[in-house]
Amino acid sequence: MFVGKALNRKLARSITGELPPLFAVIYARASNETKARKVAVSTQIAVGRKFCEDNGITVVAVLVDNNLSASRYATEERQDYTEALRLLSTGRANLLWTWENSRAQRNLSMFARLREILEKVGGYWAYDDRIYDMNDPDDRIDTAEDAVDAERESEKIRKRTRRGVEARALEGLWAGPLGYGYRIVYDQRTGEAHREVDPETAPIAEAIVDRLIEEPNASVLVRELIEAGVPCARGHVWRADHVKKLQHVSKDPHGWAKLIDSLSPEQQEAAYEALVRVREDTPSQVAQQMNREQWVHPLPGEWNVSKVRNIALSPVIAGLRVFRKKIVGKGVWQPIISDRKRALIVARLGDPSRSSVRDGTRVKYLQTGILLCGICETPTRSTPLHRARPGYRCPHGHLMRDMERTDAYVVEAVLTRLESEDARELFRYEDQADELTKAVATARELRARLDGFTDSAASGGIGPERLSRIEAKLVPQIEAAEERVRQIGVSPVVADFLGADARTVWAGLSLSQQREVLRAVVTPRLLPTKGGRAPFNPDDIMLTWLGAPAAIPGVDDSFDDEVLAEVS
């Protein structure tokens, strides 16, 4: 029975059976995943359960987004909040419970989305010990006023934060991650952290700069660092892309088995631990947790051209403070290289502040970096064959293969699979068809608009500055729309194939989009074969279709039915 402030005229009718029973989603959120915040989240859940119990409401789901912002400036999708909206929009729940209005969002557009869903399904929103009927004009106004207050507070917090960051920059104080060549030391009296030159890595950073000033061939330097056994910069630091890579490889049974066999017991434990955590948290959250708890890294990094260039061109090692990608003055820390060396390395390697080439424009071939060597699991590269025909080769020289025939074979296999009746079930499409269709259409429309502006800029119709402003506005919208598609369980590009002629769609995709399809569907491998320098034998191309992630020992183990029968 509804009690206290939770009771209003319309809800009172549910007691007499005039309204259907209420089924609640309890949603808890914290912006900062400190220990105190974790307690706050558990408290939110406990209060929500008690509220539902006191008012005769059935709880159908308890969802949590930890360490995630709900403001309009948030950079990560709140997966559990998206799931809460899905449960409400599909009718599996008709009430959302949150600790307060701002726990759901600090963004008026997100509030409008929630209100629209609840109005459409005749649902309710409970917070601050009260249930709001979103089909009641007074309740809609009350919740809207609270939402405005939540967004206003978010803007105030952001303004204070930005002013504080800018003030630190102008004072030359350090901000951001620890740069290579430095270490953190703590004041034993105050506990305050300071950065100082690291006697172990600082000489390496200066040697990299000196070497590249003398001969700006980063590839040769990379080989020298590896051969000398120099520990890689941040080689054992977890990052979000490492967690994502483990997720991806875990969907490939063959690749996962080979990876696990190559790891030490400690690395295996860490890999499985990351997979367990990423079921509940975002990859960036998991990376932070693994670093904080000092888990061993199953995918230690190696030196590459990008790493040595970034170290050499880093303004930090020259004692320069950067704010919003611009050097604003000297920092308060000790520099590793002199101003003269800084000027020489920039002259040698180029201005680091210049715009980088977009990743997609560098790709020339369909399967470079995707097609693996079946012997060493290394991504293949392109190589010229006889009569200038391109081919794929293992960088360690294990094998080579004709590119045109290999591409044709893999593409045909992928398209055949996508055209099959199993495709929709494979990509979890059927139950959420309407939501997926809208998200795909939105992403496609935004991509088309951006392509139109880009074409106009190429022909001189609009200037570079205006194009840059347009990109700054449209790209985040495109990423958000495609992230919604991913939340449903489908790669945004793969979603275009489902329910349509896969071959027609494939023909209209760009090379980078075709590569995204391959990554989402299959892991191809070249196996040893016979017959010439770069032969083509379909039987020696192994295609591993990506499916459910690998089972995690101790978490996903299930008992055999016969064993259970014997025990019982």
Structure-token pair, residue 215: 């001969």
> What's residue 562's pLDDT?
44
Are 336 and 315 within 8 A, CB to CB?
Answer: no
SS3 345: helix
How far apart CA 284 and CA 297 sit, in angstroms, is 15
> What's residue 533's pLDDT?
67
The HSE-up count of residue 404 (CA atoms within 13 Å, CB side) is 5
Write the CB contacts of 450 (distance below 8 Å, at least 6 apart in sequence).
470, 471, 474, 475, 478
Are 553 and 419 within 8 A, CB to CB?
Answer: no
pLDDT values of the chain reduced to their tens digit, one per residue, 568 residues: 444 444 454 454 444 455 578 899 999 887 654 443 344 677 888 889 999 988 889 998 888 876 555 444 444 567 788 888 888 888 888 999 988 878 777 777 788 888 888 988 889 999 988 899 888 888 888 888 888 887 777 677 667 767 766 677 676 676 767 788 888 887 778 777 778 889 988 999 999 999 888 887 888 888 888 888 888 887 788 888 889 889 889 988 898 998 999 999 999 999 999 998 888 777 888 888 898 888 999 988 888 888 888 888 888 888 888 877 777 778 888 899 888 888 888 877 764 443 333 334 456 889 998 999 999 888 998 888 766 688 899 988 899 888 999 999 999 998 888 887 666 555 554 455 566 667 767 777 887 787 777 777 767 777 777 777 787 788 778 777 766 665 555 555 566 665 557 788 888 888 877 888 888 888 999 999 887 666 788 889 999 988 777 778 877 654 344 433 443 3
> What's residue 274's pLDDT?
92
State the DSSP string of 214-272: H---HHHHHHHHHHTTPPPTTTT---HHHHHHHHHHHT-HHHHHHHHHHS-HHHHHHHH
> What's residue 161's pLDDT?
65
